Structure 1
Amino acid sequence: VTCHISARSEYENYHEIYGGEVESRKSNYADLANKYYDLVTSFYEYGWGESFHFGSRWKGETLRESLKRHEHFLALQLGLKKGMKVLDVGCGIGGPLREIARFSSASVTGLNNNAYQISRGKELNFSVGLSETCNFVKADFMNMPIPDATFDAAYAIEATCHAPDAVGVYREICRVLKPGQLFALDEWCMTDKYDPGNSRHRSIKAEIELGNGLPDIRTTKQCIQALKDAGFEVVSVKDLAEDSPLPWYLPLDSSQFSLNGFRLTRVGRFITHMLVKTLEFLHVAPQGSLRVSSFLETAAEGLVKGAKEGIFTPIFFVLARKPLDKQPEI
């Protein structure tokens, strides 16, 4: 319980809302992300399932169906097939890893720096019979303990936004890819409509960073340039949020009601809030759980506000290729 309270307090101190500086968050990014996911993974799995990401959504689709379709889209963009070795950068508990492995028959390695998420991912891999073809590596994606030119493809789904240096993480991904192979990226970005001189825009950005364990959200232009600076050739770019028939943030919008995503609606979140409050009072849940639930609410509100103002997207998709003549840096 003491560790839970301490982790929560230290996590909050990283953030602008509580006085934390961007440079401090960048220099302590690994600790920041680990504290964040230690606190929120169980909440994520309860509300979101095994895949902690967003995607475009068609009318009539459930949230889970839309996430699966997005994972299949990534597999198709990469041309995955049986016999290929694929890297999932920042894999969470491995929901996309398992779906992509089953869809494509490729072997997928999940890279993650959070011990709890890896242990949970291994349990889930075993439960569906993927322990032989899929595995996990506990490591910092800024410094992967993986030889050059190991993988036939790589993808990162809303994970590299945790990196303190975009060029650094993209360069590492480029290094472990074989020459000529593809990298598919879903990145959290501020759009061209974001104005850093607008105090409301800055406040929304800070809310998103606080609730999602992020050091500093980059712009779409910064993302593209960072990929080029890391040695990639950019094949295609698309903000998938722009063409989504239903808003990507629909599950987080408390003004909406959905039986399929009841736990994420206003009523469902209120019930969850009261349940957590009761469990914490009865000492069933660790002290501080209610505070964690509250800053996830802050995150949801920030994401919805950012989306409605058009200043933020979580599904800025880029397909990039490692050049055939790209040599490892010495």
Structure 2
Amino acid sequence: MKTLTDQKPTLLKFSTAVTAIPGYNPIKDYYNIAGPDYEAWSRDFNMHFGYCSRFTDIFSLEKMLYRMNDEVLKRLEIPSTKPTTIIDLGCGVGTVARYTAKKYPLAKLTGVTIVDYQLAKGNELIEKDQLQDKVNLVKDNFENISFADETFDRAYALESACHASGANKELVIKEMARILKTGGRFCIADGFLKHDKKLPWLFRKLNKKITDCWALPCFGNIDGFTATLAKYGLKDIEVKEISLRIAPSVAYVPYTCFKFFLKELWKTKTLRLKKERWNNVIAPVLGMILGLYRRHFGYYIITGKK
């Protein structure tokens, strides 16, 4: 039986969605190359959009990013009086996991990622915060994860489930349901298509460009996603669209891009960036337009339990 203390990284087994070319994984390449640039978005490497809970939040992007963390954690209903095991499915550099460990001293966090840069940077930040006994990052694939059944009390995926294959994201849901303990809670926050009907021409073009730039197999379909949660025995499912709460943080994209370009020009005197770094700028800019199609696309928080 595997435990949090003896868990070892395993060989990764990728779905066919990311192995069309042998030896090539666009997700790994994208984050290994463009990952450091996320510091332009968040000094603490919060690699997601923010949540605006009150008017004054709009004046601080970093505050909204942490508000989003709080929204996810609030829905997990983490107890403050007993030890809790929590898994971050697609943890980035572990920023949310570190934040959780500080907020809930009895919690033990495990983050999984397939990206070498994220592991190296995340472990550096964990050591800096002296959280080695509370946060553990492992190299693993959340669609075929190496933990035993019913290992964790809580699970969350903050803007990472979109990297799973298929419109219903079935493999990551299946694995999340398997490793959650009975009675355990989950929370997923991400962008989703609202239906599977024919989409407007411009929307389809934007959607294709964004998914290519961000190395996404596709955005999930919210109805198919929630149906798949139920298929694997997850219950008390609540779906809440929070697109308008996200919008103020999205509005920071142009300013962030401008700041990023100025910094690059100052350092290198050129804007000859690798494709992945350009994609990391293009995708959020186009995403601002995609988000205007409210009939077809939205940002959701989905919660429930096993």
Structure 2 length normalisation: TM-score? 0.83
| Counterpart in the other structure of 2:204 | 202
Q: Percent identity?
A: 23
Q: Is 1:67 paired with 2:95?
A: no
Residue 297 of structure 2, aligned match among 287, 312, 326: 312
Q: 2:173 aligns with which of 153, 170, 177?
A: 170
State the Cα distance separating 1:27 from its structure 2 match: 4.4
Change (3 A) 1:273 1:200: farther
Name the structure 1 match of 2:265. 274
- Give the match's secondary structure for 1:175: helix
Q: 2:34 aligned with 1:40, yes or no?
A: yes
Residue by residue over 1:108-149, the C-alpha shift from the partner in whole angstroms, topping out at 9 and shown as x without a partner, is 110111121011101101101111111011111111110111
The DSSP-based 3-state class of the residue aligned with 1:125 is helix
Q: Please list the CA deviations of residues 268-324 of structure 1 after superposition, one character each: whole Å capped at 9, or x if unmatched.
A: 2441453466267xxxxxxx63543322222022210011222333x41100211xx
Structure 1 residues 128-147: aligned runs within 5 Å:
128-147=129-148
Counterpart of 1:160 in structure 2: which amino acid? A
Tell me the distance in 1 between the aligned counterparts of 2:111 and 2:63: 22
Measure, in 1, the Cα distance between the counterparts of 2:134 and 2:279. Answer: 37
Contact 1:155–1:183, Cα closer than 8 Å, also in 2 = yes
Do the aligned residues in 2 keep the contact of 1:56 with 1:245 (CA within 8 Å)? yes
Q: Is the 8 A contact 1:188 1:316 kept in 2?
A: yes
Inter-CA distance 187–25: structure 2 relative to 1 (3 Å threshold): same
Taking the aligned partners of 1:207 and 1:168, their CA distance within structure 2 comes to 24
Larger fraction in helix: 1
Q: 1:167 to 1:291 in 2, by over 3 A?
A: closer
Q: Report the secondary structure of 2:238's partner residue.
A: strand
Query: Does structure 2 conserve the Cα–Cα contact (< 8 Å) formed by 1:234 and 1:318?
Result: no
| Separation in 2, partners of 1:187, 1:113 | 19
- Structure 1 residues 177 and 169: alpha-carbon distance in aligned structure 2, compared to 1, 3 A threshold: same
SS of the aligned residue for 1:308 comes to coil
1:289 maps to which residue?
Answer: 273
AA in 2 matched with 1:212: W
Read off the aligned partner of 2:279 and give its amino acid letter: F
- Kindly provide the amino acid, as one letter, of the partner of residue 67 in structure 1: L
- Amino acid across the alignment from 1:56: Y
Match of 1:77 among 59, 75, 78: 75
Quote the Cα distance in structure 2 between the aligned partners of 1:121 and 1:176: 23
Unmatched runs of 5 consecutive residues or more in structure 1: 1-22, 255-261, 281-287, 323-330
Instruction: Count how many residue pairs are aligned between Structure 1 and Structure 2.
Output: 280
Q: Secondary structure at the match of 2:69?
A: helix
TM-score by length of 1: 0.78
Q: Which residue of 1 aligns with 2:48?
A: 53
Q: CA deviation at 1:41?
A: 0.4
* Aligned position for 2:227: 225
**Counterparts of 2:301 and 2:56, CA distance in 1:** 23
Question: Which whole-Å CA distance do the structure 2 matches of 1:160 and 1:209 have between them?
Answer: 13
The 3-state SS of whatever aligns with 1:137 is strand
Amino acid at match of 2:235: E
Contact residue 237 and residue 304 of structure 2 kept, 8 A: yes
* Structure 2 CA distance for aligned equivalents of residues 277 and 220 of structure 1: 43
Matches of 1:276 and 1:294, distance apart in 2: 16
The answer (yes or no) to whether the contact 2:264–2:270 under 8 Å persists in 1 is: no
SS of corresponding position for 2:25: helix
Q: Which runs of 5+ in 2 are unaligned?
A: 1-14
2-structure distance, mates of 1:213, 1:158: 13
Separation of aligned partners in 1, 2:153 and 2:92: 21
The amino acid of 2:283's aligned partner reads A
